[in-house]
Chains A and B, each alone.
Chain A
Amino acid sequence: MAGTEETRKPVLEMVQAEGTDEGCVTFVLHDEDHTLGNSLRYMVMKNPDVEFCGYSITHPSESKINFRIQTRGGLPAVEPFRKGLNDLTEVCQYVLDTFEARVKEFSDREAAMD
C-alpha cells in the first residue's frame, strides 16, 4: 500500500458559512449514519440553548452525515455538540450498567429456582 497520509481520512470536519457567527455550524461526520445521527440529534435538541438541530445523509452511497447546529444567543455551536456527545455517552453507560445488573439478577434468580 502507498504512504499512510492518503489512507487517513478525517473523522469530523466543520463547515461555517461566510458572515455568520460561531453559532451556526455544520459538522460533516465521516463513516456515520442514522445510528449516531438520530441519537445525537435527540440529545442536542434536549439542550435549551439550541435553536435548530438536524442531520441529513448527503447521499445513501456515501457514509457521511451533515449535522447542523444553530444556537440561540451567539453561543459557539461546538458547546452543545460537545455536551450532546457527553450526555449520550453518559446515557449509554447508564443503560449498560442497568442492563448488566438486571441480566445478572435474572440469571441468579433462574439458577436459584432450578
Chain B
Amino acid sequence: MAAPMRNVDEIRNRVILGEFGVKNVHSTDFPGNYPEYDDTWNQKKFQKNFRIDIIQMDENSMEFDMVGIDAAIANAFRRILLAEVPTMAVEKVFIYNNTSIIQDEILAHRLGLIPIKADPRLFEYRNADDEEGTEIDTIQLQLKVKCTRNPRASKDSSDPSELYINHMVYSRDMKWLRPGQELDIVMHCVKGIGKDHAKFSPVATASYRLLPEITLLQPVKGEMAERLKRCFSPGVIELESIEGMIHV
C-alpha cells in the first residue's frame, strides 16, 4: 500500500503551509504512534543522521543548517542563546558631573546597553551584597568628556564638527554636547545573563526556521519560468531547456 505510507511519511516529516493555516506542526514521531516505525531514542541513529552545514560566517553573524534534530531541541538552543549566555555590561554608573541635556537616568540606561568586548569566561559573577567590586568580577571604565569651543574654526562655518571639540560622545550621530557642558562618569561592568536584563544578551537576535521544501504542483514554462526564478534567491530555482521551451 504505497499511497498511505507516503501520507504517513509526509505527516511525520513535513510541516505544511496551507492557505489558511500551518499543518503538522507537532512532532508525532514518538514510540507507539506508528506501528511500522521504531521511534525509540537511539543515540547512534541520531549521530548517523545528524549534520551541521555552515552556510555563512563572519565576525558579526552566522548562518548554519542543522539536519536531523527536532525543533524542541533547536528551540532550546535558541532560547539559551538569547537568555542564558553570560556577557559583561555596565551595571552601576557613578555620575560625578553631568551638565549635558541628557538626564542622568537616560544616560545610565543607554550606557548599560553598550556592548562591552570582554570575554565573560574570565570573570566571576558578583555577589549580591558586594558594594565595591573586586578585580575578578568587575571592569571599571571612566568617561570624562568636556566640550569646548574650537578657537581655530573660521567665522562663518556652521558645521558642528569644526566649531566644537569633543561635541560627540562615543556614538556617531548623537550631537548632544555643547560648549560648557561636561560629563564625568565612572562605570562598573559586571557579568550577567539575558534573563536578568536584556542588556546582558550576547546576540542581537538568534532565530531558527525549518528548511523549506518547495514542490511545484504544475509545470511552469517559458516566460513564467524566468519570472519565477527571479522571485527567489539565486540558486533556489533552476531552469532547463527542453524542446526549445524553458522549464523550471
Q: Which residues of A contact B (CB under 8 A)?
A: 1, 33-36, 38-39, 41-43, 45-48, 87-88, 90-92, 94-95, 98-99, 102-103, 106-107, 110
* CB < 8 Å A-B pair total: 71
- B176: interface (CB < 8 Å): no
> A18 → chain B, closest Cβ, in Å?
29
Which residues from B are CB-within-8-Å of A36?
Answer: 76
Known: A95-B69, A107-B57. 17 other contacts (CB 8 A): A35-B80, A35-B83, A35-B84, A39-B72, A42-B73, A43-B41, A46-B30, A46-B31, A46-B39, A47-B41, A94-B47, A95-B50, A95-B66, A95-B73, A98-B51, A99-B64, A102-B54
- B216: interface (CB < 8 Å): no
Q: Which residues of B contact A (CB under 8 A)?
A: 27, 30-32, 39-41, 43, 46-47, 50-54, 57, 64, 66, 69-70, 72-73, 75-77, 79-80, 83-84, 128-129
- Taking A46-B39, A46-B40, A48-B31 as contacts, is the C-beta distance between A34 and B52 under 8 angstroms? no
Which residues from A are CB-within-8-Å of B72?
Answer: 38-39, 41-42
Q: DSSP class of B's interface residues: helix, strand, loop or mixed?
A: mixed
A90 to B73, CA, bound (A): 12
Which residues from B are CB-within-8-Å of A45?
Answer: 30
Q: Which residue of B lies closest to A92 (CB)?
A: B73
Q: Which residue of A lies closest to B58 (CB)?
A: A110
